[in-house]
């Protein structure tokens, strides 16, 4: 019973870590993208047109980073599983 609760807790913590990292990275990406646009077009400032367009850009970046982090997690778990089976074969 304790192991099942611990696994559930670990999944929730990993989800929260991915969401936090995606939020922060998405926020940073907004400014990186803005800087690139400013340099390419020669602008001095960028007006997002209010909070709504800014939040929608941030949310697109959030989902982009979150999906990348999810794929990295799946790749890492598959790699760990392969290593465990490889070690189990070598132990025999």
For 32-80, how does the pLDDT look when each residue is reduced to its tens digit (9 = 90+)? Answer: 999 999 999 999 998 889 999 999 999 999 999 999 999 998 898 889 8
Spatial distance between the Cα atoms of 9 and 80, rounded to a whole number of angstroms: 20
CA atoms within 13 A on the CB side of 66: 16
In this structure, the chain runs to a length of 92
- Residues 6+ positions from 19 with CB-CB distance below 8 Å: 66
pLDDT in tens, 1-32: 445 545 666 777 888 999 999 999 999 999 99
> What would the two tokens of residue 63 be?
């989902």
pTM (2 decimals)?
0.79
Q: How many CA atoms lie within 13 A of 38 on its CB side?
A: 11
């Amino acid at each position: 019973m304790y192991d099942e609760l611990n696994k559930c807790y670990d999944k929730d913590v990993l989800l929260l870590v991915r969401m936090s990292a995606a939020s922060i990275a998405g926020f940073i990406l907004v400014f990186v993208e803005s800087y690139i646009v400013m340099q390419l077009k020669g602008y001095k400032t960028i007006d997002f047109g209010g909070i709504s367009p800014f939040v929608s850009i941030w949310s697109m970046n959030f989902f982009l980073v979150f999906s990348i982090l999810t794929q990295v997690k799946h790749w890492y778990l598959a790699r760990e599983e392969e290593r465990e089976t490889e070690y189990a074969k070598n132990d025999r």
